[in-house]
A and B are shown apart, each in its own frame.
Chain A
């Protein structure tokens, strides 16, 4: 990697200030950024580590009963501390990467990166979560803007993510065999006012909502409700690991499995 400065602020305010420098880059758990630096694919002048900011860590229940997760909370912590409040979310966190990734990687880092095959974007979009930053609050529906692209401004930091807790939910991930990211991952959540279905891994545009399935499942929360639907292969990723037809097919299979496994 190229040489860089590193700062380890202990408050959000200090972090935001530190990020004002030219070519400064926020560093969460580093599970994507560090390998990128090692390959010399990025050249920040300064890294601002968010992992020492106490106010950005941990899981709690908000006033409205929503699960609030600090942006610098690791996947391992979410898998433990959210389990009682939002089991489907905790289960998703417990299957990201491997133990090393889960002990370092953070929810804020994952959502800020918005890898098209990552798991957390499906949970956030599927739950209609709110992304809290140092300066504003962004609804998940407005946050994801395409592969590796989000509504975050330069230097903006995800401080917290708030998940409304559904009646039932489940995440089904079909693994890309090499990377073990999601070849297709589907998050299904049933709320009093309707069902949300979010798909990761499949689309060239990153995570998306399968609205036809949401409508069908909101009327009848049963896997059979999507039998008559089909997903277009247009815009689906096609690579060594799966054709676009195959990914489109898997969206439906994983949706049905997620509905069946919802609890």
Chain B
């Protein structure tokens, strides 16, 4: 029987009422008296020397308050990078300065060259059009392998080359891996591209900077997934504003997908300019600006080799990846192809030897950073594609080959430094076979063939490391921040509760699911509990939402704080009931003395805490409010198995997804409806990557897919009805809720099965196509078929 409230209930998302009725409060809804507007003049060439900028005419234009250039930002810091990767020789990565406004050189199309602050946005645009730029164009560095070749133009003159780092993992295993591959009975080799993507949240980025002369207080309203991270990075490393003089507010945010984690130039600019012109300064990104200034995702070029023995047991994996950093290091960019990618190369399999090499490369393109899944989709894609190819080469069933190599005993220490706490990969695969109706595939294929179509079935497994992360571990790995989270549970006198959380909700439904946990713990209705998030002046110092971490990390902090509250409340109840606090039980909002009918209601206890007339003041303080910080002991490891069935039109190469099934193990689940929604959205983005989305540059560094006319976002009619299941549950062993996180799974787990299915379809039609790079557009599929 499904529950109707608390943990496990599909409570309807309370935040949707305001989102769906236009009552949301997004950053662009914020307009402050006296506000000025900034228009950024952005580079339309990829690489150039700035010889001079003539502002004389522009400064005379109506409404202009001030025009800023790179020179204005020389005294302040560049945008900081939050993760330092050490290369295979033990040397730190090359880390160029990342200016707020280009100074001396332009390094990508879309980089800010000048910023016009004016009374109105139209006036700012008018003035920007008469700014005189004196540029000398330089050859653009676009292709990664060319970028690291000798003699190539450097993106940064002060670095030794365009190579950010050359990372080997685990370097000590390299010789053994090489030897195992040399001696293998069979080696399958696959070269592939993991295509560059643009996240495209529905709400573009917005920043409103504010400065109060009366108390020297700076406020930044911004579209962020993690306001405290922005406050720390921008205050301490860029603008030199003490944290107690800087407030960062991220109100309703319309989707992030990773791209709103990072600290961006526009945020620092609006904060800086608000004081400089003594006016609030607002910027709202256009969609065109979003394409060329939001951090992009993925963009790996990889060669993977999978070695097997004569019985098809995996014996070794060796990979070499070129990872595009773009022109500068975005906030967490270096960690994505390394610690979020290399550590996942074991997948769900007990391959004993693995070596991962990653060369991170600077190019004259928009910076690349985390996008839903971040490193884990890249790991999963290459592994699950090469396994499929190996099964085909060996003539064995791809599911059987996977099963044969599954990790089956937990905890399992992989050869790539992580330890899986729990899992049951056989269970999710068996569930997948059931919900995907694999037994009916042959009949469906026959029906498709009767209609002149090719039908294919593709399967893959995935594992991800979520709930990022133990701070002491990530510190050793190069993180320049802790990755705990925090929550304050504030019980009000009449018993209602406000929970201030460090996590940030921008689509995840925290305002609904977090109260379900508190409701379950205390036994009061969910609507008596509210979540407060997104404002550094209201919430404790938490690290925000990304990496499917909110519930596993911040939710755990909330549970710890609630436990403290309950323990204190039991002491108060014990006093009121004249009993020992060890005998007090809390159930359904009532404190009772074990084994008696004596009880006192939650609300009477909370009132006593704030009106402490009959209260043990000598033992405990009045009030009922507790804060907890939670630092996880390990990552969590959601895993699962996905299946995709496609039809391919052999005349046009068009791929249609007919069925898509996902069997996930997320551990314990708070709200099944929200979990299904997260999986649905993730799969949509995964299918988008596999079939539709492609961020492409030409050889001059011009962005070819700079609008929705050329960048294909998945639409409803591109997608099937999904069959998703999360009944396989092996609870996480090291957090109090036993939860693993579900936000990224769909995007990580879906691309390989789509491509595997298309290859299966083409092979069934007698086309000897081994691989097609994503996105599998009709043109690419048709060209592959006709060149096979």
8 A Cβ contacts from B673-717 to A: 692, 694, 696, 704-705, 708-713
> What distance in Å separates the Cβ of A242 from its nearest Cβ neighbour in chain B?
4
Which residues of B have CB within 8 Å of A250?
A: 652
- CB <8 Å contact, B710 and A246: no
- CB <8 Å contact, A179 and B692: no
Which residues of A have CB within 8 Å of B713?
A: 178
- CB <8 Å contact, B125 and A242: no
- CB <8 Å contact, A243 and B779: yes
Residue B580, interface by CB 8 Å: no
- CB <8 Å contact, A249 and B777: no
Which residues of B have CB within 8 Å of A240?
A: 694, 696, 704-705, 710
Residue B201, interface by CB 8 Å: no
Residue B778, interface by CB 8 Å: yes
- CB <8 Å contact, A177 and B783: no
Residue B651, interface by CB 8 Å: yes
> What distance in Å separates the Cβ of B779 from its nearest Cβ neighbour in chain A?
4
- CB <8 Å contact, A242 and B778: yes
Interface 1/0s, chain A 238-251, versus B by CB < 8 A? 01111101100110
Which residues of A have CB within 8 Å of B783?
A: 243, 245-246
Residue A174, interface by CB 8 Å: yes
8 A Cβ contacts from A146-204 to B: 174, 177-179, 183
Which residues of B have CB within 8 Å of A245?
A: 783
> What distance in Å separates the Cβ of A140 from its nearest Cβ neighbour in chain B?
27
Residue B26, interface by CB 8 Å: no
Known: A241-B779, A246-B779, A249-B782. A40 touches B710 (CB 8 A): no
- CB <8 Å contact, B779 and A242: yes
Interface 1/0s, chain B 287-301, versus A by CB < 8 A? 010000000000000
Which residues of A have CB within 8 Å of B692?
A: 177-178
Known: A240-B696, A243-B783, A245-B783. A178 touches B778 (CB 8 A): no
8 A Cβ contacts from B565-620 to A: none
> What distance in Å separates the Cβ of B387 from its nearest Cβ neighbour in chain A?
29
Residue A253, interface by CB 8 Å: yes
From the candidates B129, B651, B694, B777, name the one contacting A253 in the complex (CB within 8 A): B651
Which residues of B have CB within 8 Å of A243?
A: 779, 783
Q: Main secondary structure on chain B at its contact with chain A? A: loop
A240 to B654 CA separation, bound complex (whole angstroms)? 15
A87 to B713 CA separation, bound complex (whole angstroms)? 32
Residue of A nearest to B711 (CB): A178
A239 to B709 CA separation, bound complex (whole angstroms)? 12
Known: A240-B705, A246-B783. A179 touches B710 (CB 8 A): yes
Q: How large is the interface on B (under 10, 10 to 19, 20 to 34, 35 or more residues)?
A: 20 to 34
Known: A240-B696, A241-B777, A253-B652. A178 touches B782 (CB 8 A): no
From the candidates A39, A174, A178, A253, name the one contacting B710 in the complex (CB within 8 A): A178
Residue of B nearest to A174 (CB): B652
> What distance in Å separates the Cβ of B193 from its nearest Cβ neighbour in chain A?
14
Which residues of A have CB within 8 Å of B696?
A: 240
8 A Cβ contacts from A206-263 to B: 239-243, 245-246, 249-250, 253
A242 to B777 CA separation, bound complex (whole angstroms)? 8
Residue of A nearest to B653 (CB): A246
Which residues of B have CB within 8 Å of A40?
A: 125, 129
A177 to B693 CA separation, bound complex (whole angstroms)? 10
Residue of A nearest to B288 (CB): A39
Residue of B nearest to A254 (CB): B652
8 A Cβ contacts from B704-737 to A: 704-705, 708-713
Which residues of B have CB within 8 Å of A183?
A: 778
Which residues of B have CB within 8 Å of A179?
A: 708-710
Interface 1/0s, chain B 757-784, versus A by CB < 8 A? 0000000000000000000011100110
> What distance in Å separates the Cβ of A227 from its nearest Cβ neighbour in chain B?
13
- Most chain B CB inside 10 Å of its own CB: which residue of A179, A240, A241, A243: A240
Interface 1/0s, chain B 134-166, versus A by CB < 8 A? 000000000000000000000000000000000
A124 to B712 CA separation, bound complex (whole angstroms)? 29
A39 to B125 CA separation, bound complex (whole angstroms)? 11
8 A Cβ contacts from B512-558 to A: none
> What distance in Å separates the Cβ of B421 from its nearest Cβ neighbour in chain A?
41
A260 to B776 CA separation, bound complex (whole angstroms)? 28
> What distance in Å separates the Cβ of A133 from its nearest Cβ neighbour in chain B?
29
> What distance in Å separates the Cβ of A127 from its nearest Cβ neighbour in chain B?
25
From the candidates B129, B288, B777, B782, name the one contacting A177 in the complex (CB within 8 A): B777
Which residues of B have CB within 8 Å of A174?
A: 652, 654, 778
Known: A242-B778, A249-B782. A178 touches B651 (CB 8 A): no
Residue of B nearest to A38 (CB): B286
Known: A240-B704, A253-B652. A178 touches B712 (CB 8 A): yes
- CB <8 Å contact, B711 and A246: no
- CB <8 Å contact, B782 and A246: yes
Which residues of A have CB within 8 Å of B694?
A: 240
8 A Cβ contacts from B12-51 to A: none
Residue of A nearest to B718 (CB): A177
Which residues of B have CB within 8 Å of A253?
A: 651-652
A240 to B783 CA separation, bound complex (whole angstroms)? 13
Residue of B nearest to A238 (CB): B779
> What distance in Å separates the Cβ of B713 from its nearest Cβ neighbour in chain A?
8
8 A Cβ contacts from B651-675 to A: 651-654
A39 to B129 CA separation, bound complex (whole angstroms)? 13
> What distance in Å separates the Cβ of B504 from its nearest Cβ neighbour in chain A?
31
> What distance in Å separates the Cβ of B684 from its nearest Cβ neighbour in chain A?
15
- CB <8 Å contact, A178 and B708: yes
> What distance in Å separates the Cβ of B78 from its nearest Cβ neighbour in chain A?
31
Which residues of B have CB within 8 Å of A239?
A: 704, 710
8 A Cβ contacts from B619-657 to A: 651-654
Residue of A nearest to B698 (CB): A240
A40 to B128 CA separation, bound complex (whole angstroms)? 13
A142 to B353 CA separation, bound complex (whole angstroms)? 70
Residue of A nearest to B693 (CB): A178
- Most chain A CB inside 10 Å of its own CB: which residue of B288, B692, B705, B782: B782
A239 to B780 CA separation, bound complex (whole angstroms)? 12
A240 to B651 CA separation, bound complex (whole angstroms)? 19
A72 to B712 CA separation, bound complex (whole angstroms)? 31
A27 to B711 CA separation, bound complex (whole angstroms)? 28
- CB <8 Å contact, B779 and A178: no
Residue of B nearest to A179 (CB): B709
Interface 1/0s, chain A 28-54, versus B by CB < 8 A? 000000000001100000000000000
> What distance in Å separates the Cβ of A16 from its nearest Cβ neighbour in chain B?
32
A245 to B782 CA separation, bound complex (whole angstroms)? 10
A245 to B710 CA separation, bound complex (whole angstroms)? 19
A249 to B778 CA separation, bound complex (whole angstroms)? 12
8 A Cβ contacts from A75-123 to B: none
- Most chain A CB inside 10 Å of its own CB: which residue of B652, B705, B709: B652
Residue of A nearest to B781 (CB): A246
A249 to B649 CA separation, bound complex (whole angstroms)? 14
Residue of B nearest to A249 (CB): B782
A241 to B652 CA separation, bound complex (whole angstroms)? 13
Which residues of A have CB within 8 Å of B711?
A: 178
- CB <8 Å contact, A178 and B652: no
> What distance in Å separates the Cβ of A147 from its nearest Cβ neighbour in chain B?
15
Interface residues of B (CB under 8 A from A): 125, 129, 288, 651-654, 692, 694, 696, 704-705, 708-713, 777-779, 782-783
List, sorted by A's number, 30 A–B pairs whose CB atoms are closer than 8 Å: A40-B125, A174-B778, A177-B692, A178-B692, A178-B705, A178-B708, A178-B709, A178-B710, A178-B713, A179-B708, A179-B709, A239-B710, A240-B694, A240-B704, A240-B705, A240-B710, A241-B710, A241-B779, A242-B777, A242-B778, A243-B783, A245-B783, A246-B653, A246-B778, A246-B779, A246-B782, A246-B783, A249-B782, A250-B652, A253-B652
4 extra interchain contacts, Cβ-Cβ under 8 A, other than A177-B692, A240-B704? A178-B711, A241-B779, A242-B779, A246-B778
**Top 5 A-B residue pairs of the complex, sorted by shortest distance between their CB atoms:** A178-B712, A242-B779, A246-B779, A179-B709, A177-B712
